[in-house]
Amino acid sequence: MTKLTFGAHPYLLGFEQLERLVERTAKSGAEGYPPFNIEAVSENAYRITLAVAGFREEDLSITVEDRQLVIRGRQAEDAGDRVYLHRGIAARAFQRSFVLADGVEVGGAGLDHGLLNVDLRRVVPDTVVQTIPIGRGAKEGGRK
């Protein structure tokens, strides 16, 4: 039995990277720390909120790498002068990744009361209608 992939479907032309995108997305959500929310702020705006209690702005980084939003956190090592009887507040490093669709851009980010908010917006392109002339003897690539 042959496995039919997204890129091999006859009606999905030019979507060869779709399967890799789905696999990458599945891998990025494997760990549950830190918890996060995703909300639709409006029709073309979204907000990702991560619970990052104890992290300062300088402990966090936000990058977009190959249509992937990557949020990383790393706290400075404790000086060692504290003696914990119980340590239940996580102080570990993390990385959260979110795959962005074409046309989705990061609008900004802010840290407020232990919550990191990352605002996203979808840039809606103008609709373009293209008329293709039909000629005689069209050759490969549409050239005569």
- Contact between residue 65 and residue 24 where contact means Cβ atoms under 8 Å apart: no
Higher local confidence (pLDDT), 143 or 13: 13
pLDDT of res. 31: 65
pLDDT at residue 3 above 80?
no
pLDDT of res. 6: 59
Residue 93: partners with Cβ closer than 8 Å, 6 or more residues away = 72, 73, 74, 75
Number of Cβ atoms within 10 Å of the Cβ of 116 = 22
Q: Tell the residue number behind the tokens 């293209």, with chain if given.
A: 130
CA distances from 138 to 14, 134, 141, 143 (A): 21, 8, 8, 6
Amino acid identity of residue 131, one-letter, is T
Number of Cβ atoms within 10 Å of the Cβ of 72 = 14
Tokens of residue 142, six digits: 């549409």
Which range has the worst mean pLDDT, 1-5, 30-34, 114-118?
1-5
**What class is the 33-131 domain?**
mainly beta
pLDDT of res. 81: 79
pLDDT of res. 92: 84
pLDDT of res. 139: 63
What would the pLDDT profile of 10-43 be if each residue is shown by its tens digit? 676 766 666 666 666 666 555 688 999 999 999 9
If you ran DSSP here, which 8-state letter would residue 53 be given? T
pLDDT band (50, 70, 90) for residue 9: low
What would the pLDDT profile of 52-83 be if each residue is shown by its tens digit? 988 999 999 999 988 899 999 998 776 677 88
Tokens of residue 63, six digits: 């990058």
pLDDT of res. 25: 60
